[in-house]
Amino acid sequence: MKIYSSSFIIILLIISVVIGLFITFPQYKNYKLAEKEFLTKKEELGSLEDYFSDLENTQKKLLERKDDLEKVKEGVPLQENAPLFLSLIKKTSSENGLILKNMEIQREKEKLEKESRLKKIRADISLVGSYESFKNFISSLEKNARMIEIEDIDFSPKGENEDNFDFHLKVSAFFLSQ
C-alpha cells in the first residue's frame, strides 16, 4: 500500500508540474504583459494630464495678457489693408504740422523669408514742413503700435524759405499673409 501511495504522490506531483508549465505559466506571462501595458497606459495618461494642465495654464496666461496680444495684432495685422496704412501716414503727418504732397504704395511680391508669413507693404512719401515737425512725425511713427520701418530719408530746403523742407521717405509696414 505504501508503494501505491508514494507512486500516487509522484504521479500527482508530475501532473502538478505539467499543469504548472503548460497552463498556469502562460497565464502568468499574460498577466505580467497586461500589467506592463497597464503601467505604460497609466504613464501616458499622466503625461496627457500634465500636457492639458500646461495648456490650461498657458490659456489663462494668454487671457491675462489679452491687451498685449491686441497690441501685437495692431502692430502686425493679419491683412495688408493699404487704405488704413495710408490713413495712418496722412493723419500722423497732419497732426505734426506736415503737408502730405504725395504717397505711392508698392506691394512686395515675395515673403521676407521662405518659411515666414510676414510680408511688407512699402510707401514712398513726400512731405513739406519744418524740420521740428518732421522730427515729431518720425517720433509719432516710432511710438505707433503699427510695426513701421523707415528705410530711407532724403530732404532738401524748400525754395528760399529756410524753415520749410521737402522730405522724401521710404517706409515699410508689416502684415501677416494668409
User: Which residue, among 111, 120, 135, 126, has the nearest Cα to 170 in the 3D structure?
Assistant: 126
pTM above 0.75, yes or no: no
Question: What distance in Å separates the CA atoms of residue 75 and residue 63, rounded to the nearest whole number?
Answer: 19
pLDDT in tens, 146-163: 788 889 999 888 777 678
Give the pLDDT confidence of 59-102 residue by residue, as tens digits: 888 888 877 767 666 666 666 677 888 888 899 999 999 989 99
Contacts with 165 (C-beta within 8 Å, 6 or more apart), sequence order: 128, 129, 130, 131, 134, 155, 156, 157, 158
- CA-CA distance, 137 to 99, in Å (whole number)? 11
Q: For residue 177, what pLDDT is reported?
A: 73
- Rounded CA-CA distance 152/140 in Å is 17
How large a percentage of the chain has pLDDT more than 70? 85
